[in-house]
Structure 1
Amino acid sequence: MDYFCASTVILHAIYLCCDRTMGLQHPAVLCAFRALLLLMLATHVSYLSLILFDYDYNLVANVAIGLLPHVCKCMVVVLLLQGLSLLELLDFPPLFWVLDAHAIWHISTIPVRVLFFSFLEDDSLYLLTESEAKFKQD
């Protein structure tokens, strides 16, 4: 479930970035893109669950898909998560017999989530003021 949830978070971040950049102007395109992302997730999870659980494939797929978003804060979040994913690759003995690479990775993603929430908050406020400005013009 950890790997499937990671894939879901990455695809959802891409969806939110695309919703922000083109969703208001092209809702039909966004709907088709959402369907494509859901199909990609279903295919990915099905392959790993039913055919072969390949850790390397999962990692490559998540890294490749995670590089797609292009909004500034969102991109920083994605790059930080990609950088932190090195902790998944660089396995080392536990520090102080407690904190191994996987535990440090989980702990280090907490501030990244705060930054991502900040992106979502800023973006929502921007969309709200933009829609109010359009409403005042009409």
Structure 2
Amino acid sequence: MRHPLRLISLAALLACAYASAGDRSSQFQRCVAKCESTTCDTFNPPPLMRLTRWTCTDNCKYTCMHAISDFSVESGLPLQQYYGKWPFWRFAGAQEPASVVFSLLNLLFHVWGRGEVQEAMSNDHPMKRYYLTWSVISINAWIWSAVFHTRDTPITEKLDYFSAALAIMYSLYFSVIRLFHLYPVRKRNPLSGASRSVDKPFLFYVWTAACTFVYVAHVSYLSLALRFDYTYNIIFGLVLGMTHNVLWLAYALPASLSLFRRFATQPKSYRPFYANEAAKAVILTTAATCLELFDFPPWKRIIDAHSLWHLATAPLVVLWYDFLLMDAQDKGWKEHRV
């Protein structure tokens, strides 16, 4: 009778586990407690695990998570999440190696894009400084994304989220400057050839102050709140991202439906031939983001929807840089140089 009783006990434990998150199950908690009591006195992790700050407790949680997940797979039961994440096989100390690799891929494309902007755009182009700054901010965001997916801690989580929010905010910031012509320019007299500087419009300073205030308030709220407000953080990013996308979709509208002048020196009806590229970039970016909505257990405990999202955004970086460079080289900029 011992085996049937053991199965009944195990079934009860699994029922409890599936009634709540995996890390809240008594089975998981007992496993971790036993692991800590039997292994922590002699815990000696390899160098890469020491480098990525794996403690004995962390390792016990990882071991128990996969032990329970192994049983679930063998029994045909669904995998459970632990601490808000699916179970992943770690590699070289990284908790989510696929997301780390794909984050670094995005980083490399931004490094490439920065080089393209530096080479293709003249130094007196009014948008060059903004695109170069955007590339640096994006590189920083993907660095912290890779760090966060290597080791999920409260500090790396905040650095990842805050860096991502800054990248989204700055994308909207320079888009408004570009589309509503808030950049500084130097106008040339067609007769004399002389040029005169034109200061940045007052709205530039208002927009800069507003973006700075919103971002500082965003970081302050999430940093000072008793608990990290994940729902608010998601809504904040979505609102900024959707606003950015709507602006570039407006840029891509047919000439007969133009809502604003795409170039300050061109009529409202002027629509460059590559305008559809903006719509393509927006649509594909939105489609890639939808991967976040289709959460599913990781394939082979390696690839999940979130990592696929990071993979999908990598080629879109190239698409955005290509579009921005085509736009920067348009004839509409000929009389607009800093």
Q: TM-score range by the shorter chain?
A: 0.7 to 0.9
Report the alpha carbon displacement of residue 121 of structure 1 after superposing the two structures with TM.
0.9
Of all paired residues, the percent bearing the same amino acid is 33
Q: Deviations over 1:24-70 (max 9, x none)?
A: 48632122112211111111111112213111111111111211131
Report the alpha carbon displacement of residue 83 of structure 1 after superposing the two structures with TM.
3.5
Q: Give the 5 Å matches for 1:13-92.
A: 13-22=171-180, 23-24=182-183, 27-51=201-225, 52-69=227-244, 70-71=247-248, 72=252, 73-74=277-278, 76-92=280-296
Runs of at least 4 residues off by over 3 Å? 72-83
| Aligned partners of 1:67 and 1:79 also within 8 Å | no
| Aligned partners of 1:14 and 1:68 also within 8 Å | yes
TM-score scaled by structure 2? 0.35
Q: Deviations over 1:56-93 (max 9, x none)?
A: 11111111121113124556545543433333343211
* Structure 2 counterpart of 1:65, one-letter code: L
Relative distance call for 1:74 and 1:5 in structure 2 (3 A) is farther
Relative distance call for 1:112 and 1:39 in structure 2 (3 A) is same
Measure the CA separation in 1 of the matches of 2:305 and 2:163: 19
Measure the CA separation in 1 of the matches of 2:280 and 2:242: 10
Name stretches of at least 5 consecutive residues in structure 2 with no aligned partner.
1-158, 185-199, 253-276
Q: Secondary structure at the match of 1:67?
A: helix
Relative distance call for 1:78 and 1:45 in structure 2 (3 A) is farther
If each structure's helix is expressed as a fraction of its own residues, which one has the higher value? 1
Count how many residue pairs are aligned between Structure 1 and Structure 2. 132
TM-score scaled by structure 1? 0.79
Q: Secondary structure at the match of 2:297?
A: coil
| Aligned partners of 1:11 and 1:65 also within 8 Å | yes
| CA RMSD between the two structures | 2.4
* Structure 1 counterpart of 2:162, one-letter code: F
Name stretches of at least 5 consecutive residues in structure 1 with no aligned partner.
none
